[in-house]
A and B are shown apart, each in its own frame.
Chain A
Amino acid sequence: MRPILIRGGRIIDPSRGTDEITDLFLADGKVQASGRDLGHPDDAQVLDATGKVVAPGLIDVHVHLREPGQEDLETVATGAMAAAAGGFSAVCAMPNTDPVTDNQAAVGFIVSQAQRAAKARVYPIGAVSLGQKGRQLAEFGELVGAGAVAVSDDGKPVASSHLMRTALEYARTFGIPVADHCEDPTLAAGGAMHEGLVSTRLGLKGVPAAAEEIMVARDILLAELTRGHVHLCHMSTRGSVELIRRAKDQGLRVTAEACPHHFTLTHEACEGYNTNAKMNPPLREPEDREAIRQALRDGTIDVICTDHAPHHYDAKEREFDDAPNGIIGLETALGLAVSELVESGLLSLPDLVNRMSVMPARIFGLQGGSLAPGSPADVVVLDPKAEWTVRPEHFYSKSRNTPFAGRHLRGRAETTVVRGQVVFARGGDT
């Protein structure tokens, strides 16, 4: 493995509070040093980062890689490559695979597929309940032993409050968060989009914001009861943000994530029955979008994740009610975050790196999220000024389901380094 010297970039490392133009030297899979005039061996690969930003690799704590079970949509390898192209050095894969990732063998399979792919790191998330059926706890200890970093029944809420309680208590033993997809199943049943004026006009059954907020409130109460760590997935409403803010003021172990589509789009994107705007939780109202943005600014929402959800072209090419939920996001997240949050002045670049790398690592207890000497050599070189147009046909992901096709964005990854190796370089892939 050749050492790497990244020269002349603006090194942003919020884990140490540093932001300066200097060099970074990586060797033996670790960050060795940063500073000017670093000596380096003759065989070192030298990357010129002049005018670019050098940051700890981005980490996405919420993706769906579809393997095993739906390899025609995505695999661990293609998902890990799409992640690398999006500037992510690590992703956490949700367990709603087929079969469900609810046992150590299934976790081990994903770990080994990720090692074979050798692109972005892939950390499995185990299921809360066997088969994600919401009845019996999965063996958290064995899941963690095999490499799982959290548990979640994502895609489905943990409907039973008793099960959620025991999951939060039991997860404390292993120091992992329980990530919950917050949705009251009876209020959300049959819903295709946000309940509001657009759903009324289009004649589609809506999901009210209260369907999410009821479960957010419940999970917060259970976090208080159990002192467990609940991580609230893909927050989409103003009410959820207010509930989380209060919980954090109380000092509860509540963390939360939000997706680029929820801070970029509103339910109006569903006009014309656009199935690429169909997702769960649904796109909400302008006030909700604004609340999510403010929550990312003030830290009420800790991390930006993608909820990358690959679907086949055919599956979205149908009546809105029958189309599946979800969009892919790994290759557009950074551009959307820079365009919507940084360009608008809401977040600084260090804030953004904090939300997309430092905090995800901290909350899920992952390596990375830092460029301190001794940290893993997981690094992204990104160009926050690069202007580009979203062209799904150029995605590394196997799927193309995005509402952002044709959108002009600013900011993208130029080079992604994982374990000291370049796994993505724009214009000349390795």
Chain B
Amino acid sequence: MSAPALGKDLTGLETLSREQIQLILDTAEPFKEVSERAIKKVPALRGKTIVNLFFEASTRTRISFEFAEKRLSADTVNVASTGSSVSKGETLVDTARNLEAMRIDMVVIRHGASGAAQFLGQRIRSNVINAGDGKHEHPTQGLLDMLTLRDRFKRLEGLKVAICGDILHSRVARSNIWGLTKLGAEVGVCGPATLLPRNVHELGVTILPRIEDAIQWADALNVLRLQLERMQAGFLPSLREYNRVFGVTTERLSKAPKDLLILHPGPMNRGVEIDSDVADGPHSVILPQVTNGVAVRMAVLYLLAGGSPDWAHPGGGGGE
């Protein structure tokens, strides 16, 4: 078996090379087909034990990982814990070491603290996959967004993608910025100045102050969910005003020089950051994103387990 192509853990896209990201996307292609079969299962991870360790509520990401794991024939355990490890009384590292003492192979972690996945990865032998850590990264979301863009445009090089909304608190934005810029796409960020990090231009992105600017500039919009707690924290006056100033509406899109592809990582606040007729419209790829999420996560799990990209293709060796 060849050396692991991704290293031990997947904590973010910032630390991956262009080639590694390309490899994940290419490996996801054949896995798409597995989910279309009548019997949606390949034996690639048979005998592997994976723990899904979710310290934050998540429906979509957790289920997507679980499908990916089961379709690769892994044995999975879900550990959900609301609140931080601190309030639970046990530290994160103790939780992980206890799990590892039960002889597991991989941990998929979602945690409210930035850096939690890296912290864990440095302290246990199992592979660690970041399913979202605080405001840091959500690499598999970034990857599935990129796969969806590549499906539609057949390329990422030179593509203009505007990420719209709360960039400051968004791990999805960070993973998209790293991944897309590494693969040669241009990234714009659009949102109220209170929700853009002060140094965001230093990440190599274009700042688009108004949603109208983003619509003029971009080939695709990735519309982020607006968290309701941002109002309480004083970043925004009201949801109503946010929709009026930054909402992605049919009317605004009608002024675009071309048809824009619409992405959204979910869950959506219909009528806040995105109007229903846009979300359900002909240029929305919000559901294909979800479908691609399973394939991308299968690819990541498979590659971290030491699988060779060649074996992922139908008719290949199955990875054992």
Most chain A CB neighbours (cut-off 10 Å) among B85, B174, B197: B197
| A322: Cβ under 8 A from any B Cβ | yes
**Set of chain A residues within 8 Å of B133, measured between Cβ atoms:** 203
Known: A273-B119, A322-B86. A200 touches B199 (CB 8 A): yes
| A393: Cβ under 8 A from any B Cβ | no
| A42: Cβ under 8 A from any B Cβ | no
* Closest Cβ–Cβ distance, residue B205 to chain A (whole Å): 11
CA distance A79 to B50 in the complex (A): 47
Contact between B135 and A319 (Cβ–Cβ < 8 Å)? no
CA distance A93 to B91 in the complex (A): 31
Contact between B119 and A203 (Cβ–Cβ < 8 Å)? no
| A320: Cβ under 8 A from any B Cβ | yes
Beta-carbon nearest neighbor of B173 in chain A: A203
The stretch of B37-45, B73-81, B109-117 that contacts the partner chain: B109-117
**Set of chain A residues within 8 Å of B86, measured between Cβ atoms:** 318, 322
* Closest Cβ–Cβ distance, residue B154 to chain A (whole Å): 31
Known: A195-B198, A318-B93. A201 touches B203 (CB 8 A): yes
**Set of chain B residues within 8 Å of A205, measured between Cβ atoms:** 135
Contact between B118 and A197 (Cβ–Cβ < 8 Å)? no
Contact between A203 and B174 (Cβ–Cβ < 8 Å)? yes
Beta-carbon nearest neighbor of A319 in chain B: B113
CA distance A272 to B115 in the complex (A): 8
Known: A319-B111, A320-B113, A321-B113. A204 touches B93 (CB 8 A): no
CA distance A273 to B135 in the complex (A): 13
CA distance A201 to B136 in the complex (A): 7
CA distance A322 to B137 in the complex (A): 18
| A286: Cβ under 8 A from any B Cβ | no
Interface positions of B from 86 to 119, Cβ below 8 Å from A: 86, 91-93, 111, 113-116, 118-119
Beta-carbon nearest neighbor of A195 in chain B: B198
| B171: Cβ under 8 A from any A Cβ | yes
CA distance A322 to B171 in the complex (A): 19
**Set of chain A residues within 8 Å of B85, measured between Cβ atoms:** 318-319
| A317: Cβ under 8 A from any B Cβ | yes
| A314: Cβ under 8 A from any B Cβ | yes
**Set of chain B residues within 8 Å of A273, measured between Cβ atoms:** 114-115, 118-119
| A196: Cβ under 8 A from any B Cβ | yes
**Set of chain A residues within 8 Å of B212, measured between Cβ atoms:** none
Beta-carbon nearest neighbor of A198 in chain B: B199
Contact between A202 and B92 (Cβ–Cβ < 8 Å)? no
* Closest Cβ–Cβ distance, residue B274 to chain A (whole Å): 24
Number of A-B contacts (CB under 8 A): 69
**Set of chain A residues within 8 Å of B137, measured between Cβ atoms:** 203
**Set of chain A residues within 8 Å of B63, measured between Cβ atoms:** none
Interface positions of A from 302 to 320, Cβ below 8 Å from B: 314, 317-320
Beta-carbon nearest neighbor of B167 in chain A: A200
Contact between A202 and B115 (Cβ–Cβ < 8 Å)? yes
CA distance A7 to B270 in the complex (A): 82
Contact between A320 and B202 (Cβ–Cβ < 8 Å)? no
CA distance A201 to B135 in the complex (A): 9
Beta-carbon nearest neighbor of B133 in chain A: A203
Contact between B134 and A321 (Cβ–Cβ < 8 Å)? yes
Contact between A322 and B113 (Cβ–Cβ < 8 Å)? yes
| B200: Cβ under 8 A from any A Cβ | yes
* Closest Cβ–Cβ distance, residue A404 to chain B (whole Å): 20
Contact between B197 and A200 (Cβ–Cβ < 8 Å)? yes
Contact between A203 and B91 (Cβ–Cβ < 8 Å)? no
Contact between A318 and B114 (Cβ–Cβ < 8 Å)? no
Contact between B118 and A318 (Cβ–Cβ < 8 Å)? no
| B206: Cβ under 8 A from any A Cβ | no
CA distance A272 to B113 in the complex (A): 13
Contact between B136 and A197 (Cβ–Cβ < 8 Å)? no
* Closest Cβ–Cβ distance, residue B191 to chain A (whole Å): 14
**Set of chain B residues within 8 Å of A202, measured between Cβ atoms:** 114-115, 136
CA distance A377 to B248 in the complex (A): 75
**Set of chain A residues within 8 Å of B197, measured between Cβ atoms:** 199-200
| B276: Cβ under 8 A from any A Cβ | no
* Closest Cβ–Cβ distance, residue B282 to chain A (whole Å): 34
Contact between A272 and B118 (Cβ–Cβ < 8 Å)? yes
Interface positions of B from 129 to 184, Cβ below 8 Å from A: 133-137, 171, 174
Contact between A321 and B114 (Cβ–Cβ < 8 Å)? yes
Interface positions of B from 178 to 230, Cβ below 8 Å from A: 197-200, 202-203
CA distance A318 to B115 in the complex (A): 10
Contact between A203 and B202 (Cβ–Cβ < 8 Å)? no
Contact between B92 and A203 (Cβ–Cβ < 8 Å)? no
Beta-carbon nearest neighbor of A204 in chain B: B114
Most chain B CB neighbours (cut-off 10 Å) among A204, A208, A273, A314: A273
* Closest Cβ–Cβ distance, residue A311 to chain B (whole Å): 14
Interface positions of A from 173 to 226, Cβ below 8 Å from B: 195-197, 199-206, 208
* Closest Cβ–Cβ distance, residue B148 to chain A (whole Å): 23
Interface positions of A from 343 to 391, Cβ below 8 Å from B: none
CA distance A91 to B197 in the complex (A): 40
Cβ contact of A320, chosen from B84, B115, B174, B198, cutoff 8 A: B115
Known: A319-B92, A320-B115, A322-B84. A201 touches B14 (CB 8 A): yes
Contact between B113 and A200 (Cβ–Cβ < 8 Å)? no
Cβ contact of A197, chosen from B92, B174, B202, cutoff 8 A: B202
Beta-carbon nearest neighbor of B197 in chain A: A200
Contact between A203 and B136 (Cβ–Cβ < 8 Å)? yes
* Closest Cβ–Cβ distance, residue B22 to chain A (whole Å): 22
* Closest Cβ–Cβ distance, residue B224 to chain A (whole Å): 14
CA distance A317 to B119 in the complex (A): 9
**Set of chain A residues within 8 Å of B200, measured between Cβ atoms:** 200
Contact between B116 and A204 (Cβ–Cβ < 8 Å)? no
Beta-carbon nearest neighbor of A197 in chain B: B199
**Set of chain A residues within 8 Å of B202, measured between Cβ atoms:** 197, 200
**Set of chain A residues within 8 Å of B119, measured between Cβ atoms:** 273, 318-320
**Set of chain A residues within 8 Å of B135, measured between Cβ atoms:** 203-205
Known: A203-B134, A204-B134, A208-B198. 13 other contacts (CB 8 A): A200-B200, A202-B114, A203-B114, A203-B115, A204-B114, A205-B135, A272-B118, A273-B119, A314-B91, A318-B119, A319-B113, A321-B114, A321-B134
Interface CB pairs A-B, < 8 A, 16: A195-B198, A197-B202, A197-B203, A200-B198, A200-B200, A200-B202, A201-B203, A202-B136, A204-B115, A208-B198, A317-B91, A318-B85, A318-B86, A318-B91, A319-B116, A321-B114
Q: 9 smallest A-B Cβ distances: which pairs?
A: A203-B136, A273-B115, A203-B135, A319-B113, A203-B114, A200-B197, A197-B199, A321-B113, A200-B199
